[in-house]
Amino acid sequence: MHANLIGLGALILVAGLLARFGRRMGLPTVPFFMLAGILLGPSTGGPVAFEHPEDLDILALFGLVVLLFHLGLEFPVEQVLGSGKRLYIAAGAYIGINISAGLGLGFALGWGAKEAFVIAGAVGISSSAIATKLLIEMRRLANAETPVILGIIVIEDLFLALYLALLSPILSGASSAGELLLRIGISFGYLAVLFGVARWGAKWIGKVLDSREDELVAIIMIGLVVLVAGISAEIGVSDAIGALMIGLVVARTSIRERAERIAVPLRDVFAAIFFIAFGTSIDVGEIGSVAVPVLIAVGMTVVTNVTAGLITARLFGLNQRGAANVGLTVLGRGEFSLILATLAIGAGLDERVGPFIALYVLILAVLAPILAANSKYLARIIPDRLLHDRWRYVREETISTACTHLDRINITETDEDECQECVELGDTWVQLRMCLTCGQVACCDDSKNKHATAHYEDSRHPLIRSLQEGDGWQYCYDDQTLVREPAGSSRS
Amino acid sequence: MGKGVRIQELPGLGTRYDVDLHSSSGERVSIVVSRDGKRHLYVFTAVGDDPAAVLELTEEQARKVGAVLAGTFFSD
């Protein structure tokens, strides 16, 4: 047996070092793995680590399988099912806009219908890993829009499974429409069977996998995962979906946490090899010929994402800052786009698809963190009217959500109907205001004692609302602005 | 949860606990417990909406800090 260990080692080492260099500048890792593959691959000048990239195939395929297995394993079923209808609408809008724009672009390029479907997915489905890392690094975990962003990318992961189920039959080269429909039917039927196993059969799978020794759990689990992925590929559903679905199954067994712990290092190493292997298949000479379509695609992605961000913000009552953050955080493209590119290469589609997606992912990898970090500039130019469907006026002022203290609202209702301090003094008042942080009821500024403002000066609780029947406005002392109640805040 | 603690699920990442300190200066603390066990501790002051401090703690470190905060830490 002869294996090119020197080449493999060099590739992985260079990929790791490149990615470390990128991380120092806050860039995602996946594009750097791919870049290592491109630089050391056979089609690029300079040192070549692998003369025959196909020698990497089995390792790369294993990487793809563990990557998707881990995705399924980590999929937060309960959190997604527990989230409201609004999140599904927002995610639906996000996916709908991005996929249809991608499909439009794909057909406009004129490379073919199959190619258009691959490009639609590659351009439309964002990288959950990149978005999550960005949120942590930009210290935005406590922001109001963050649960929404995470909800959207998680639903996108699920959409990926459905998209793959649709794409594999399309790529399989059915000769007639009937055959294509049959294959799509088989694909979704198989998906339904695996959903059923996840729902009702997890207990039995758990019994098969469970062992006191981690070593045995790891081996039996990986064997099962690879087998299911292989069977899926054999049926004509992609191996990727099989791996994802078996991940969902294992996530419902008793060994979930151990499985996660075991899968993470495997995923890290072998998924990296998958991205490297994809890179080695890219011909740098081709990249020049796709530069213009890629730039158009990048521009389009920014526009569609910002649009989806505005729709989401409107749905959830987020302010400008939230809208800009939603639109620009979900911009990163990575693992899923590369999976689709690999599928395209495997199916022998137009040779430009691979370089197109490679360059697209690379550009967005650099652009996404920069844009996300500077979302405040976008926030400044979003007009109020895009975010509010209900304009309400209080005297001459419009009600806006530009206030940044909405998270200080703890209480909005009270039974109190007098200003306690005025009662004690024996005074009267004109109107009543309620502090939304501690619930204190006090008199307004037209009253003699101005207790509400006095309360703000004491406590620095920024928000009050009018208790006047039919008024329904809130005011922020800190921002000196009238505010609308945030529709997106869920308090428990 | 106790009064003044709001729980917010962060799908795929973990759970966020927003603690209202009811302090007169308006400080707030948010703690994100992520699924991998890491804790992200956010401290906000009344000024500005960017966190004044962010700490990322491992499970072990969080336990240590938590024990001291909760007054259950005894030195020997």
User: Tens place of pLDDT for every residue, chain A, 492 residues?
Assistant: 467 888 899 999 999 999 999 999 888 999 999 999 998 888 777 777 777 778 888 999 999 999 999 999 988 888 888 777 888 999 999 999 999 999 999 999 999 899 999 999 999 999 988 999 999 999 999 888 888 999 999 999 889 988 988 888 888 877 788 888 888 888 888 888 988 888 888 888 888 888 888 899 999 999 999 999 999 988 888 888 899 999 999 998 888 889 999 999 999 999 999 999 999 988 888 888 899 999 999 999 999 999 999 999 888 777 778 889 999 999 999 889 999 999 898 888 888 999 999 999 999 988 999 999 998 888 888 876 776 544 333 333 334 445 667 667 777 777 778 888 888 888 888 888 988 888 888 998 888 888 998 888 888 888 888 888 766 678 888 777 777 544 333 333
Structure tokens at A194: 């695996």
Query: Would the CB atoms of A459 and B50 count as touching at under 8 Å?
Result: no
Chain B positions with Cβ closer than 8 Å to A: 1, 4, 6-13, 16, 18, 20, 22, 24-26, 28, 30, 32, 35, 40, 42, 44, 46, 48-51, 54, 56
> Which of B1, B20, B32 is closest, CB to CB, to A141?
B32
Chain A positions with Cβ closer than 8 Å to B: 74-76, 79-80, 82-83, 128, 132, 135-136, 139, 141-142, 146-147, 150-151, 153-154, 157, 321, 404, 407-408, 410, 438, 458-462, 478, 490-492
Structure tokens at A111: 């490379």
Residue with tokens 């920024």: A462
Element (H, E) at B63: helix B59-70
> Which of A82, A132, A460 is closest, CB to CB, to B24?
A460
Query: Would the CB atoms of B24 and A154 count as touching at under 8 Å?
Result: no
Mutate: best of A75, A80, A134, A141, partner B, most B CBs <10 A: A141
Residue with tokens 């992912």: A361
The Cα–Cα gap between A172 and A161 comes to 17
Domains and CATH numbers, chain A: 5-381 (1.20.1530.20), 392-483 (3.30.40.10)
- Would you say A443 and A431 are in contact if contact means Cβ atoms under 8 Å apart? yes
The Cα–Cα gap between B40 and B32 comes to 5
- ipTM of the prediction: 0.88
Half-sphere exposure of A69 (CA within 13 A, CB side): 34
Residues from chain B that touch A80, judged by Cβ atoms under 8 A, are 11
CA–chain centroid gap for A441, Å, is: 42
- Would you say A337 and A365 are in contact if contact means Cβ atoms under 8 Å apart? no
Predicted pLDDT at A401: 44
Q: How far is B27 from chain A (nearest CA, A)?
A: 10
The single-letter DSSP state of residue A120 is: H
DSSP reduced 3-state for A94: helix
What are the domain boundaries of chain B?
5-70
Task: Using CB atoms within 10 Å of the CB of residue A326, give its burial: 0 to 12 exposed, 13 to 18 middle, 19+ buried.
Answer: buried
Query: Would the CB atoms of A438 and B22 count as touching at under 8 Å?
Result: yes
The single-letter DSSP state of residue A197 is: I
> Which of B11, B25, B51 is closest, CB to CB, to A83?
B11
